[in-house]
Amino acid sequence: MSPDRLFQRLEDLLGKEAVAGPVEAAGLAVGGCSPAVGAVFPASIEEVCAAVRFCSENSLKVVPLGGGTMTERCSAPSGYDIALCTRRLNRVTDYQRENLVYAAEAGVSGARTVELLSPNGQMLALDPPGFLEATLGGIVASRASGPSRAGYGAPRDLVLGVKVVDARGELISAGGKVMKNAAGYDLCRLYTGSLGTLGVIVETVFRLHPAPEASRAFVGMFDSWEDADGAAARMQSAPLAPRAVELLNREAARLYCPDGRADHAVYLLAAFDGTEEQLACQQQTFEGILEETGSRGFAEMEFGWNGERHHSLCNLERTPRDGTLLVLSGLPSDIPVLVSHLEEACALSGCRPLILAGAVTGTVRAVCPGLAGEAREQAAKMILAKVAGVRGVSLRVFAHEPLPNEAVWTTSAPGVEVMRRIKDQLDPQRVFPAGRFPGGI
Amino acid sequence: MLPSADARTAPGETASNTALMRDLAAIVGPENVSSTTAERMVYEADGFTMARRRPAAVVHPASTAEVQAIVRLAASRGIPFVARGAGTGLSGGAMAPPGGIIISLTRMRRILDIDLRNRRLTAEAGVVNLKVTQAVAAHGLHYAPDPSSQSACTLGGNVAENAGGPHTLKYGVTMNHLLGLKMVLPDGELLDIPGETEDNPGYDLPGLITGSEGTLGIVTEVTVRLTPLPQKTWTALAVFETITDATRCVSSIIAAGIIPAALELMDANVIQAVEAAFHFGLPLDAQAVLIIELDGLEAGLDELGARVRGICESHAVRELRIARDEAERTALWMCRKKAVGSLGRLAPSHCTQDCVIPRSALPEVLEKIGLIARDFDLRIANVFHAGDGNLHPIVLYDDRDEEQVRRVLECNAAIVRACVEAGGTITGEHGVGVEKLEFMPLIFSEADLATMDRVRAAFDAQGLCNPGKLLPGGGGCADLVLNKKAAV
């Protein structure tokens, strides 16, 4: 069947308002690639089932798409036909305020969630880059998290349930709306972070948290990563309960600080939630640590979940249009070494990256404007050579242009053979196209 | 009881069985193969004693390499196998499959690495849960999942069941604390997920494997997250005239935006049993007590305690005893920890249910459970994780009376159905095992179950790894159900 005829059939199936041709869909790139046939915008879970079933029966490749805030965080798919956009799946299906449970269709945005929960003194404790524009389905599919993961956990910790349309177009329910669930395999964990390679997430259920009375961030300034890391290590054994502990290099701090001034090499930002009394105590403890570890300065700022300072920190790690985002993960104690590898590799091409490092999670992100093409390849190669043989370290390389699989997922995924077998079982026809996920899945 | 001991599978002294014993002994040494009838009888059941099956052999490896060799041997001969930790599971998950062997991991009990800076601990699967906390407590850390059996149960078993405990309300279940693992796949290959990073690329295999009840492979080593001990703890015992007041109080605490570290409820039956056994001074005429624990930073904790007190008062609390020191706190927790053990005073046998419901449904569902007990003419004691909505109705009976056993089974089914109708699930922390197989279709569609079957096939194409557990329709469960019906 010709692409035109297929498109016509999809239009008949879903209605004119729910389809867009290849020209209109060109902007809906995933992994740098646009769909060959077009895009569909189903307005209900039943329509998602119908669309995927149609694609499966007609050998069309489907890539799910949410708010488009993380679409570059994968490798280029091996060609695909249909972008399935979840933005019209926009109903909040069950908000149990008294149970701290929130269920919403996949296309509901972070902003809408905040708008609904805030007046009730509750929040969804996730803060990935672009949270307000991101969709809940997209956040779960990409397991996107932000600085507050240190205190509240990642999507895997907060998702109670998901509904997914599988490669056959069937609706699969995983988990539920209760706090604990040990029935059957925990497919929520499998779908969370699966980047749409196993199905289209159509509904998500989250555990909520009470919104804190107050939130504040304190910043210490250091001359070196080792000094800053020493302070972060001291925090581990101190009576502190941080929501986020991030290390920023000078370039990141310059962009982040309202006045653009940043005279020190490294900034240690520790954010706390709690009562005013708790914040005051933690400030005192934190300042004590700074004093003992040779900090050169101190600042404090309001850091409310819905505040500008918080969002702008989260959004610092967006992949630059003309450059690269390097994500290097390891043990928290390895941060100074990992940062030195990143800086050295970037220096080769004259790139001065913005570096943010999660002192609790051990994930270092380097935003590298202008780092592209061969320079990007060289930088990745150099970092990989430095971390070769270090157990557990992984490097991911993201850009808005299409990148081959091994250029993005540079370190092999542990258990990749098992992952392939899971993909073979759940999507044998590759309705969700290969190539985007680690190991070429 | 469900399958009677002699309906099970004991291959006897056949030539092939002798060859199996010899080959297992060649891997682990003859002293580490349990093959006599008396030895094998010990392993007929785990903590769920209503189902029993005697294993063909029990083998006790001391290393991951030995587990791999055993699994390869079993796979080559088509012999089903199941891993077993301390055998404290409560759904029959560690019972031998028909004709199968048990691979006991209790010799694998070394803590391999403690990384204080990065708050991680790596240990073999047979390490007892409590040993982890004991190993790091002096450094101000602990391992948060704390199932009631924590002084006996093993880390491997905790992963298999996604174990929880009283403090999971605030700290989460096993899945939230598992960073990496080594697992012997059903073909003997090793899956090695490093726990060094929280961001391994690809699917979340540790998340999927946690709670898979030993059906995807045998976890031999785990890397877990260590959590700081709280700076201060506020623990109180709240006494209520009615169970409804207590459950409404639970809902109000959560709805007020307070997440306690633990929120445990004991009903009148439990209070009476505990008091008769240990004389803690609990009021015998009370219908419910709550143990409420808040923890965290010292700053603000007393104020939070005052808020909780106010909420309790608004729900007609009769008495609120706040622990003044660690000794009093320990005594309050002792009431809870001794609860299940003390039920032996009330009846010769008891069967613990495990369902989860929305917290706000607690009053209505507990009332319904009371009616179910009356309908089946059975006594039910309730001691459970109220803050999570994780119910543990304990049916008291005499297992020598077959008619009572039949009623217990029907009563359990009625409780599970009531919980599902209230928007809940069939198990929160004990797993499906063999006990809950028949209830899986209550919460999962055919398509959901088919997806789980496919996931299982991705790991275990031969179907030898703990078949007949977790998913209905798997090999071995049919005969179990038949045995169960025959037994009653």
Checking if the pLDDT of A145 tops 70, the result is: yes
pLDDT, average across residues A417-441 = 97
Q: Specify the pLDDT at position A389.
A: 84
Tens digit of each residue's pLDDT (9 = 90 or more) over A24-51: 898 888 999 999 999 999 999 999 999 9
Contacts of B447 in chain A (CB under 8 A): 166, 170-172
Q: What is the structure's pLDDT at A4?
A: 87
Matching residue, tokens 């926009």: A90
| Substitution target from B203, B253, B355 for chain A, most A beta carbons within 10 A | B203
* Phi-psi map region of B31: left, alpha, beta (phi>0 left; psi -120 to 50 alpha): alpha
Q: Which of A189, A240, A274 sits opposite B175 (nearest CB)?
A: A189
Structure confidence at residue A262 (pLDDT): 84
**For B430-462, what is each residue's pLDDT tens digit?**
999 999 999 999 999 999 999 999 999 999 999
User: How far apart (Å, rounded) are the C-alpha atoms in residues B418 and B416?
Assistant: 5
DSSP output for A233-255: HHHHTSS---SEEEEEEHHHHHH
Nearest to B440 among A181, A183, A275 (CB): A183
Nearest to B199 among A188, A363, A439 (CB): A363
Nearest 5°: the CA angle B466, B472, B478 is 80
Count of beta carbons in the 10 Å neighbourhood of residue A213: 15
- pLDDT at site B14: 67
Query: Under a CB-based contact definition with an 8 Å cutoff, are residues B487 and B3 in contact?
Result: yes
Contact B299 A278 (CB under 8 A): yes
Spell out the SS3 assignment of chain B. Answer: CCCCHHHCCCCCCCHHHHHHHHHHHHHHCHHHEECCHHHHHCCCCCCCCCCCCCCCEEECCCCHHHHHHHHHHHHHHCCCEEEECCCCCCCCCCCCCCCCEEEECCCCCCEEEEECCCCEEEEECCCEHHHHHHHHHHHCEECCCCCCCCCCCEHHHHHHHCCCCCCHHHHCCHHHHEEEEEEECCCCCEEEECCCCCCCCCCCHHHHHCCCCCCCCEEEEEEEECEECCCEEEEEEEEECCHHHHHHHHHHHHHCCCCCCEEEEEEHHHHHHHHHHHCCCCCCCCCEEEEEEEEECCCCHHHHHHHHHHHHHHCCEEEEEECCCHHHHHHHHHHHHCHHHHHHHCCCEEEECCEECCHHHHHHHHHHHHHHHHHCCCEEEEEEEHHHCEECEEEEECCCCHHHHHHHHHHHHHHHHHHHHCCCECCCCCCCCCCCHHHHHHHCCHHHHHHHHHHHHHHCCCCCECCCCCCCCCCCHHHHHHHHHHHC
Q: Is the pLDDT of residue A149 over 50?
A: yes
For residue A365, the model assigns a pLDDT of 97
Pairing relationship of beta strands A82-85 and A38-40 according to DSSP bridges: parallel
B190 Cβ under 8 Å from any chain A Cβ: no
Q: How many percent of chain A have pLDDT more than 70?
A: 100
Write the residue in B200, B388, B449 that is nearest to A180 by C-beta.
B388
Looking at the domain that runs over B347-443, which CATH code has it been given? 3.30.70.2740
Across residues B347-356, what is the average pLDDT? 94
Per the CB < 8 A criterion, the answer to whether A270 and A242 are in contact is: yes
* Residue B194 contacts A, CB cutoff 8 Å: yes
Contact B428 A143 (CB under 8 A): no
Coil vs helix vs strand at A103: strand
* B111-228 and B347-443, same CATH topology: no
pLDDT score of B1 more than 70: no
Task: Residue B447: count other Cβ atoms within 10 Å of its Cβ.
Answer: 13
What is the pLDDT averaged over residues B206-220?
A: 98
Banded pLDDT at B474 (limits 50, 70, 90): low
Mean per-residue pLDDT for A354-375? Answer: 97
Give the residue-averaged pLDDT of A246-268. 89
A277 with B303: Cβ contact below 8 A: yes
Q: Which of B297, B389, B456 sits opposite A179 (nearest CB)?
A: B389
Contact A210 B258 (CB under 8 A): yes
pLDDT band at A257 (very low <50, low <70, confident <90, very high): confident
Residues 362-401 of A with CB under 8 A from B: 362-363, 391-394, 396
The whole-number pLDDT of residue A261 equals 80
CB-closest option in A189, A277, A409 to B208:
A189
pLDDT digits (tens, 9 = 90+) for A373-406: 999 999 999 999 999 988 899 999 999 999 999 9
Residue A297 has pLDDT above 60, yes or no: yes
Cβ–Cβ gap A281/B201 under 8 Å: no
Contact A182 B169 (CB under 8 A): no
Give chain A's domains with CATH numbers: 3-87+427-440 (3.30.43.10), 92-210 (3.30.465.10), 214-304 (3.30.70.2190), 324-399 (3.30.70.3400)
pLDDT of residue A258: 66
Chain B CB within 8 Å of residue A441 CB: yes
Distance from CA of A21 to the nearest CA of B (A): 32
Can you tell me which residue has the tokens 């300042």? A287
Considering only residues 37 to 56 of chain B, which have any Cβ-Cβ distance to chain A shorter than 8 Å? none
Q: Is the CB of B173 inside 8 Å of chain A's CB atoms? A: yes
Chain A: closest CA distance from residue B25 (Å): 30
User: What is the complex's ipTM, to 2 decimals?
Assistant: 0.97
Q: What is the pLDDT of residues B249-296, one digit of tens each?
A: 999 999 898 999 999 999 999 999 999 988 988 999 999 999 999 999
Nearest CA in chain B to A94: B423
Q: Is A168 helix (H, G, I), strand (E, B) or coil?
A: coil
Per-residue pLDDT, averaged over A221-241, amounts to 95
Q: Where does the pLDDT of residue B359 fall: very low under 50, low under 70, confident under 90, or very high at 90 and above?
A: very high
- Burial environment of residue A374 by CB neighbours within 10 A (0 to 12, 13 to 18, 19 or more): exposed
B122 vs B111: CA distance, rounded Å:
6
Given the candidates 3.30.465.10, 2.30.29.30, 3.30.420.40, 3.40.640.10, the CATH classification of the domain at B111-228 is 3.30.465.10
- Identify all chain A residues contacting B425, using CB atoms and an 8 Å cutoff: 176, 178, 180-181, 183
- A282 and B297: CB-CB below 8 Å? yes
Q: d(Cα A166, Cα A175) in Å, to the nearest integer?
A: 16
User: Which pLDDT belongs to residue A26?
Assistant: 87
Residues of B numbered 95-154 whose beta carbons fall under 8 angstroms of chain A's beta carbons: which are they? 115, 117-120, 139-140
Q: Judged by CB atoms within 8 Å, which residues 106-145 of A form the interface with B?
A: 121-122, 143
pLDDT digits (tens, 9 = 90+) for A153-202: 999 999 999 999 999 999 999 999 999 999 999 999 999 999 999 999 99
Predicted TM-score (pTM) of this structure:
0.96
Listed in sequence order, the residues at least 6 apart from B215 whose beta carbon sits closer than 8 Å to its beta carbon are: B456, B459, B460, B465, B466, B467, B469, B470, B471
Asked if B254 lies within 8 A of A98 by C-beta distance, the reply is yes
- Residue A220: pLDDT band (50, 70, 90) is very high
The three-state secondary structure class of A62 is strand
Contact A252, A355 (CB under 8 A): yes
Burial (CB < 10 A; 0-12, 13-18, 19+), residue B270, is: buried
Using only C-alpha atoms, what is the Rg of chain B?
Answer: 23
Q: Which CATH architecture has domain B230-346?
A: 2-Layer Sandwich (3.30)
Cα B171 → chain centroid = 16
- Please report the pLDDT score of residue B37 as a whole number: 95
Domain spans, chain B: 111-228, 230-346, 347-443
Q: What is the pLDDT of residue A430?
A: 97
pLDDT at residue B480 greater than cutoff 90: no
- In the predicted structure, residue B4 carries a pLDDT above the cut 70: no
With pLDDT > 90 as the criterion, what percentage of chain B qualifies? 88
Which of the four pLDDT bands, split at 50, 70 and 90, describes residue B340? confident
- Mean residue pLDDT of chain B comes to 93
Q: 3-state class of A399 per DSSP?
A: coil
- Interface check A321 vs B, CB under 8 A: no
